[in-house]
């Protein structure tokens, strides 16, 4: 039976940080816009900053939906599910923002992560958690975690900082629905 919590306690924190995979969901304000759901991985890229505050390292990729949606309205949900052990699903609903390298506070946020690899880090997504809940994961299959893929870090590691900036300029300016992400002015919702 599902339960709602006042905050991320020690047990939930331990569960969250043990998961090698989590999912991020965002949506634009426009009801005609597309909902985005992204899997995220790589050990050491998620941090619990406090009982109602979390963050994750967001890497350069072909899409930019999360940042664009957060600039539009700030809404975000993060989901963790157990593929081993007890069947558990934890959801964190909240308001988020993207903190880019060079923004005030980026260095302090980056220091909260044990991940050493910075190749391709595009931002830190910070979430002020408004609702913490869990539910059974009775239908979630058992899966074996073999290890992290190194393709993203190798891809980014083979590029200069200038190459990555050019890639972001060309591919990460707007969302698939045309919302500003890394290009142009736009609100940063909180």
- Among 184, 49, 173, smallest CA distance to 105 is for 49
Alpha helices in the chain (DSSP H): 10-18, 65-72, 106-110, 151-157, 161-171
Structural domains present in the chain: 3-139+147-171 (2.30.110.10)
- Provide Rg for the chain, Cα atoms: 16
**Structure confidence at residue 1 (pLDDT):** 63
Q: Is the dihedral of CA 61, 66, 69, 74 positive or negative?
A: negative
Q: What is the mean pLDDT of residues 171-179?
A: 94
Q: What is the mean pLDDT of residues 143-157?
A: 92
**Structure confidence at residue 185 (pLDDT):** 54
- Give the chain's largest Cα–Cα span: 50
This prediction's pTM: 0.92
Looking up tokens 């991940």, which residue turns up?
115
- Does residue 97 carry a pLDDT above 50? yes
**DSSP-assigned letter for residue 187:** -
Q: What is the mean pLDDT of residues 144-153?
A: 92
- Among 77, 22, 67, 12, smallest CA distance to 44 is for 22
Tens digits of per-residue pLDDT, 8-63? 999 999 999 999 999 999 999 999 999 999 999 989 999 999 999 999 999 999 89
- Does residue 100 carry a pLDDT above 50? yes
Alpha helices in 41-142 (DSSP H): 65-72, 106-110
Inter-residue contact 58 to 125 (CB < 8 Å): yes
> How does residue 190 score in pLDDT terms, banded at 50, 70 and 90?
very low
């Amino acid at each position: 039976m599902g339960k709602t919590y006042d905050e991320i306690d020690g047990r939930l924190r331990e569960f969250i940080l043990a998961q090698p995979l989590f999912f991020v969901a965002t949506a634009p304000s426009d009801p005609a816009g597309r909902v985005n759901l992204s899997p995220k991985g790589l050990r050491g890229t998620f941090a619990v900053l406090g009982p109602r505050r979390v963050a994750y390292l967001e890497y350069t990729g072909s899409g930019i939906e999360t940042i664009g949606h957060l600039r539009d309205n700030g809404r975000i949900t993060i989901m963790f599910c157990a593929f081993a052990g007890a069947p558990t699903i934890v959801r964190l609903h909240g308001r988020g923002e993207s903190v880019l390298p060079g923004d005030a506070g980026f260095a302090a946020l980056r220091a909260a992560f044990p991940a050493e690899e910075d190749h391709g880090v595009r931002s830190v997504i910070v979430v002020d958690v408004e609702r913490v809940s869990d539910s059974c994961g009775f239908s979630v299959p058992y899966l074996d975690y073999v290890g992290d893929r190194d393709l993203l870090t190798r891809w980014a590691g083979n590029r200069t900082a200038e190459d990555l900036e050019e890639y972001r300029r060309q591919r990460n300016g707007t969302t698939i629905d045309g919302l500003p992400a890394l290009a142009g002015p736009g609100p940063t919702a909180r």
